Structure 1
């Protein structure tokens, strides 16, 4: 393939994505390398539909019984919010990068929500440390927040807390949850197989904090609930960020495994219950996803080999690492960065995050050179930067196309033909071309007409699911407690007394 052909094709792709590309030509050797990478990372329409068909099977299997690839965890959140929820609530969000503590005021029908919040960067050593380190960090941050904002509570009238914990948990009740496995690069000893609410609760009690954990919330469920509070067309909550996942409302009668739970045995078949899919684990058996040798390398070197197969090919934590591994490979072949010291690129896994990947696709030449120099200590040639620009596009396009598969599978399974997918996460909200590429893939999978005036299913930016969503779910749970509806609730405690 001639250099001009490569440039022409990427110009066309760039026009569709809404940005112009540079005109730099690549050497024949780099052209051949790029051609092969395009083939390896390509996901055709036919392949997308094949993936979605398998996805539907795994979704159904997860609803049928426990311990399937896609876990399909019941969350004991029943129905969408009324829009009239009100009150003041603490929330904690343990994400993949940050810890956030919030004091949220819900004002009911006017939907004017007030938020006071503090953000704490998670030290890297905590992510691979001990349970005691983790819970002490969270409890100390909570104590500092309560003191800083002069919040008042007592043992008889504690501050209600919604805890957003965005990792796979098996929930027997809305206020209990056992961590099944760490994801997003976490590997903290002493937490897997344990109830995270109990562990955090013990750390809170040691500090005599006037707080009671009312609800354990997955970020996808929070995104769906928070968005539905204002937008009745919300059908799914999704995360496209460090990890990937989605949640939706399923009828209890379509979840056979609910019969295994004491709280689920007597639910009416038409009771809507939020399901946390945890579909980052789709295709852990490697049946259908088109893995490259770089995907295999990421999996082999990860703390959880042969787990989270779909997440490792589509989520933000891994896109930059795929980019780095390709650069290392081609530099070792003598095709890139000739004469430069590439030790930093070679030795520092995950040093190129998704923000770096996005910058290589979207920033100016000078800005891209500056980013490279800051990270690795040298300024690549114009040809090398052009290749990086095109490679970033190849990897990001595949990620967006794969990201459409889980949502399309839920829609096909439920017969959903229109609505809004409330999307949160850095990839969805910060990469300038993700939504256009995702939409293109959705149209191919679901066979939307080319001449459509509007898209039947669209991405919307989620309300603050980890904050507002957790607060709304806490309000919904407390309402159930006050009304004596304790289905899916372990212990109403002092909140049962409130009017």
Structure 2
């Protein structure tokens, strides 16, 4: 049996006198009973999804789905061009570029080797630049000229070997947008979305991302050699693998969710890499796979009525079923749906609706985090965070605050359970492939983690690890055989490692 965390806040554990306050706060005991009935419904609806047997069953069914999609899906389980993991001996100076939806980051990285007396991966300089609406509207050459100008700005202030060397500057790129990758260092620019127009009008004249970067740098007088293009999931895996040789997976959990997995090439359908060169197809026995984890488990994840309301209002309700239950974009929205129902039908906040709370996606996950981090008797910090985001012309009782915190705990606990189940199933599938084909089996496996939810949401990383341990023990493995390890600055570090490996 799995021994899983209990996130319920029973009445017996509330601060002294709060039960009496709960009864006196509402206009009648009937209102209090009504809210308590909703509380019981919530616990039943969310906790059934975290039952040990349910999670084990989901993990087994996910393994089957993963295996099928490795063979047949054109949009998930996509092989990258990276067939090896770093040895940890790679060294040198590199420039890393991390292009995201809101920020561009440029870093100068020194790789000194695993076990070096210095830091194995040392960030000599890093700068972040806001990508505002003006930058997002820049067309192809203008957008990449803007990137090259930022690279020049960082290098101009950095007196290290990568700048003064007569050799071309070795560069790695972490790219968070769609591309049709054609090699480890090249790919056709595709529509970027999120208000970016750099790819607009390029359908008839495809543009290569490597050429766009290097040509823009040349126009600034910078001789660069782009050696690798990676996404954030692959970059995170590579960064941790440079430090820890047992790393085989990554988990990104922030606004969205994704994972990369280092799998035997034979696990991937040949048609997924049929267009690649014979040299690549014969070049290695393994490959880093972009799982597109958010897309899996459509008919596996248990749904509550609040999940159904979120899905009903979503433009693509079936596209990313896991993401809609676990990521930073959606955790606040699930809680918001619960609170709106509790206010309008069950007397929460005496039926007074806080400002803006009826607006979709108006409740930020950072507010949920404030509730879970507040250990004070009256939850005053959480109260202030909530009111700052959603003003209310009514005094919020402590009992109502505890109700809100309980909802946050249930939603985040379920998210941790689902994320853990998804990555555990990946680990089990990889282990079975290696056993089946007599590959090397690791006694310990590391999952490299990054993303704002894993890093900043109180207790989330620890709860994920608890669920992974419990699932491992339920299958007869050591409860500490899979470790989830955080990697700071994973995109810029991983881009440098990827460049060093090519």
TM-score using structure 1 length: 0.79
Matched, 1:355 2:380: no
* C-alpha separation in 2, matches of 1:201 and 1:338: 61
* C-alpha separation in 2, matches of 1:203 and 1:49: 51
Structure 1 residues 166 and 51 mapped into 2: Cα distance closer, same or farther (>3 Å)? farther
For residue 103 of structure 1, report the CA deviation from its aligned partner.
Answer: 1.0
Q: Give the 3-state SS of the residue equivalent to 2:245 in structure 1.
A: coil
Q: What are the equivalent positions in structure 2 for 1:173-252 lying under 5 Å apart?
A: 173-177=183-187, 186=194, 188=196, 191=199, 196-197=209-210, 204=217, 209-252=222-265
Q: Give the 3-state SS of the residue equivalent to 2:80 in structure 1.
A: strand
* C-alpha separation in 2, matches of 1:403 and 1:421: 12
Q: What are the equivalent positions in structure 2 for 1:37-186 lying under 5 Å apart?
A: 37-42=42-47, 43=49, 44-68=51-75, 71-95=76-100, 97-109=102-114, 110=116, 112=119, 113-115=121-123, 116-123=125-132, 135=144, 138-149=147-158, 157-167=167-177, 169-177=179-187, 186=194
* C-alpha separation in 2, matches of 1:130 and 1:306: 32
Which residue of structure 2 lines up, in the alignment, with residue 476 of structure 1?
Answer: 501
* C-alpha separation in 2, matches of 1:123 and 1:305: 29
Contact 2:340 2:358 in 1 (8 A): yes
Moved more, 157-166 or 21-30: 21-30
Unaligned 5+ residue runs, structure 2?
1-5, 23-31, 432-440
* C-alpha separation in 1, matches of 2:422 and 2:143: 31
* C-alpha separation in 2, matches of 1:49 and 1:205: 54
Contact 2:252 2:451 in 1 (8 A): yes
* C-alpha separation in 1, matches of 2:167 and 2:284: 35
Matched, 1:373 2:398: no
For residue 294 of structure 1, report the CA deviation from its aligned partner.
Answer: 3.3
Matched, 1:329 2:341: yes
Contact 1:10 1:21 in 2 (8 A): no
Contact 1:226 1:463 in 2 (8 A): no
Q: Deviations over 1:223-278 (max 9, x none)?
A: 22111212122221221222211112122222223551323676348622211211
Contact 1:251 1:269 in 2 (8 A): no
For residue 370 of structure 1, report the CA deviation from its aligned partner.
Answer: 1.2
Matched, 1:439 2:449: no
Unaligned 5+ residue runs, structure 1?
1-7, 15-19, 478-499
For residue 165 of structure 1, report the CA deviation from its aligned partner.
Answer: 2.0
Equivalent residue for 1:261, pick from 261, 275, 279: 275
The structure that has the greater radius of gyration is 2
* C-alpha separation in 1, matches of 2:313 and 2:138: 21
* C-alpha separation in 2, matches of 1:97 and 1:404: 28
Structure 1 residues 105 and 211 mapped into 2: Cα distance closer, same or farther (>3 Å)? same
Matched, 1:405 2:421: yes
Structure 1 residues 406 and 9 mapped into 2: Cα distance closer, same or farther (>3 Å)? closer
* C-alpha separation in 2, matches of 1:382 and 1:336: 11
Which residue of structure 2 lines up, in the alignment, with residue 480 of structure 1?
Answer: none
Which residue of structure 2 lines up, in the alignment, with residue 317 of structure 1?
Answer: 329
Contact 1:220 1:246 in 2 (8 A): yes
Structure 1 residues 448 and 34 mapped into 2: Cα distance closer, same or farther (>3 Å)? same
Contact 1:173 1:263 in 2 (8 A): no
Matched, 1:418 2:426: no
Q: What are the equivalent positions in structure 2 for 1:2-13 lying under 5 Å apart?
A: 10-11=8-9
Which residue of structure 2 lines up, in the alignment, with residue 466 of structure 1?
Answer: 491
For residue 134 of structure 1, report the CA deviation from its aligned partner.
Answer: 6.1
* C-alpha separation in 1, matches of 2:144 and 2:177: 15
Q: Give the 3-state SS of the residue equivalent to 1:88 in structure 2.
A: strand
For residue 386 of structure 1, report the CA deviation from its aligned partner.
Answer: 1.0
Structure 1 residues 214 and 324 mapped into 2: Cα distance closer, same or farther (>3 Å)? same
TM-score using structure 2 length: 0.79
Q: Deviations over 1:49-91 (max 9, x none)?
A: 33323322332233224514xx122221222211111111111
Contact 2:472 2:478 in 1 (8 A): no
Q: Give the 3-state SS of the residue equivalent to 2:183 in structure 1.
A: coil
* C-alpha separation in 2, matches of 1:210 and 1:388: 56
Moved more, 194-203 or 217-226: 194-203
* C-alpha separation in 1, matches of 2:145 and 2:352: 44
* C-alpha separation in 2, matches of 1:78 and 1:161: 19
Contact 1:422 1:460 in 2 (8 A): yes
* C-alpha separation in 2, matches of 1:253 and 1:34: 49
Q: How many residues align?
A: 456
Equivalent residue for 1:387, pick from 403, 423, 448: 403
Which residue of structure 2 lines up, in the alignment, with residue 17 of structure 1?
Answer: none
For residue 104 of structure 1, report the CA deviation from its aligned partner.
Answer: 0.8
For residue 392 of structure 1, report the CA deviation from its aligned partner.
Answer: 0.5
Q: Deviations over 1:97-139 (max 9, x none)?
A: 5332211111235162321111234447877x67658656644
For residue 395 of structure 1, report the CA deviation from its aligned partner.
Answer: 0.5
Structure 1 residues 36 and 278 mapped into 2: Cα distance closer, same or farther (>3 Å)? same
* C-alpha separation in 2, matches of 1:401 and 1:181: 34
* C-alpha separation in 1, matches of 2:182 and 2:14: 52
Q: Deviations over 1:187-246 (max 9, x none)?
A: 645649876555555655665554343211122222221112121222212212222111
Moved more, 364-373 or 253-262: 253-262
